[in-house]
Amino acid sequence: MQPKWRRIRDGLKERGLDGALIFSPENLHYAAGYACHQHTVSRKPEMASVVIPTAEALEPLLICMDFEHPAVVEKTEGIPTRAYDSWVGVREYEDIAERREAGQEKKPFSSSMDVLVRSVRETGLASGKLGIEEDFVPLKFHALLKERLPEVSFVDISDMLIFARSVKTPEEIDMFRRLTEVADEALLEASRHVRPGATEKDVAQVFRRRAIESGICVPSAWSTFNTGPNSSMLRLPGDRTIADGDLFKFDGGVNAEFDFYTTDTSRTWIVGNGDPALEELKDCLCTAQRKMIAAAVPGLPINELFSTGFEAVREKYPSYRRGHLGHSISLGPQTAEAPFIAPGETRPLEPGMILCIEVPCYVRGTGGFNIEDMVLITESGCEVLTWRTPHYL
């Protein structure tokens, strides 16, 4: 992926900040276009970071472990990198061939924090206002940063980064097209196994196998496949067998692993001879969702999009309650992120946004519906990305 640190820099300028320190694996990938291996596995800020100065004359800098540094240099484009000394202890060939003693080393050990502090000082940011992800950075690490950089004023930019990620580049849109195609085709195949006698795990396994076969992503671990009363709650697939008349609900998607991009869609099917009251509810939810999709055009305030769906259901079911009817989506591990399609969100829709538009309704002890599709806001309206799998069997 292409690095997007310039988009982050634009946000820093708007907030009057001198720079930013990026620590989360997903935002490091967003900024640098590359995910550092150990950093992604451990999700610890000391494993890798990116320093982004706001000044146009200064370049960003990626800091990673020595063991991975050659791979990072190979994969990143136009971003200087620095390595810190790790526990791995990579040796030179001569160290082995000539059986040198470790004592011959004279270079002092530099930790990731040492390299980060030195880089901040050399960039002239040691007394500035720096953005930091307080939603990600642990309290202990934050305290160490303030101890090592006492003159820096740290400002939380967690929401700014989510805002930047909410409008996608053409490359990101292409990524979502490929991921939603895989997720949709895997779900379509899984839907053919939704019949009496099959278990939740049976259907889940079909979806997972097909997603893995794509070679570009894996099934999201949180994806749910639930039938009957199980679909009225949040739980992973189990051994419950599908029965005639059951609701069968899927909610989940696929994840691009070290590229982080993820999908989220949902289908609920009525198996066989369903309860007429539940069939009528599903028809209402589907109609409300289609009205939202038809209304989704650039410039529309997001709270008006919420009202379109909410009122369509509430008109027929006065007891209906929901906090939101969808959300933005970009990089995992979380799927639902701002802006949410909620009553208080006045931000207008913009071309390049990718939203999960959903109209759920759960009936305790009976079953649950979620009618959800991923859509791309275009210049004139929106495009449904998850169109391959039907909402009705």
pLDDT at 108: 80
Q: What is the pLDDT of residues 277-291, one digit of tens each?
A: 999 999 999 999 999
pLDDT of 104 higher than 60: no
pLDDT at 103: 61
The two structure tokens encoding residue 226: 């639930």
Q: What is the pLDDT of residues 17-71, one digit of tens each?
A: 999 999 999 999 999 999 999 999 999 999 999 999 999 999 999 999 999 999 9
Q: What is the pLDDT of residues 132-167, one digit of tens each?
A: 999 999 999 999 999 999 999 999 999 999 999 999
Task: Find the radius of gyration of the CA atoms of the chain.
Answer: 24
Cα separation, 54 vs 164, in Å, equals 15
Q: Which amino acid makes up residue 179?
A: L
Q: Kindly list the structural domains of the chain, giving each domain's residue range(s) and its CATH number in brackets, ordered by start.
A: 5-165 (3.40.350.10), 170-384 (3.90.230.10)
**How much of the chain, in percent, has pLDDT values that exceed 70?**
99
Query: What phi-psi label fits residue 76: left (phi over 0), alpha (psi between -120 and 50 degrees) or beta?
Result: beta
Q: What is the mean pLDDT of residues 221-241?
A: 97
- Tell me the C-alpha to C-alpha distance, in Å, between residue 93 and each of 102, 249, 302: 13, 57, 60
The two structure tokens encoding residue 320: 């209906």
Cα separation, 75 vs 306, in Å, equals 42
Question: Greater confidence, 327 or 104?
Answer: 327
pLDDT of 77 higher than 70: yes
Q: Strands, E, within the chain: which ranges?
A: 19-22, 49-53, 61-65, 81-84, 129-132, 153-156, 218-219, 224-227, 247-252, 254-255, 265-270, 326-328, 337-340, 354-363, 367-377, 382-384
Cα separation, 206 vs 214, in Å, equals 13
pLDDT at 98: 87
Cα separation, 119 vs 62, in Å, equals 10
pLDDT of 116 higher than 60: yes
Find the helix packing angle between 139-148 and 112-122, rounded to 10°.
50
Work out the mean pLDDT of the chain and round it to a whole number.
Answer: 96
State the pTM of this model: 0.94
pLDDT at 106: 62
pLDDT of 208 higher than 70: yes
* Count of C-beta atoms within a 10 Å radius of residue 158: 16
Three-state secondary-structure class, residue 256: coil
pLDDT at 339: 98
Q: What is the mean pLDDT of residues 113-121?
A: 97
Q: What is the pLDDT of residues 93-103, one digit of tens each?
A: 988 898 887 76
**pLDDT category, 247, cuts 50, 70, 90?**
very high
pLDDT at 261: 98
Q: What is the mean pLDDT of residues 228-250?
A: 97
Which is nearest to 89 in space by CA: 102, 71, 98?
102
Cα separation, 260 vs 28, in Å, equals 11
Q: Which of 97-106, 122-131, 241-250 has the lowest mean pLDDT?
A: 97-106
Cα separation, 291 vs 195, in Å, equals 30
Q: What is the mean pLDDT of residues 319-325?
A: 97
337-340/326-328 β-pairing = antiparallel
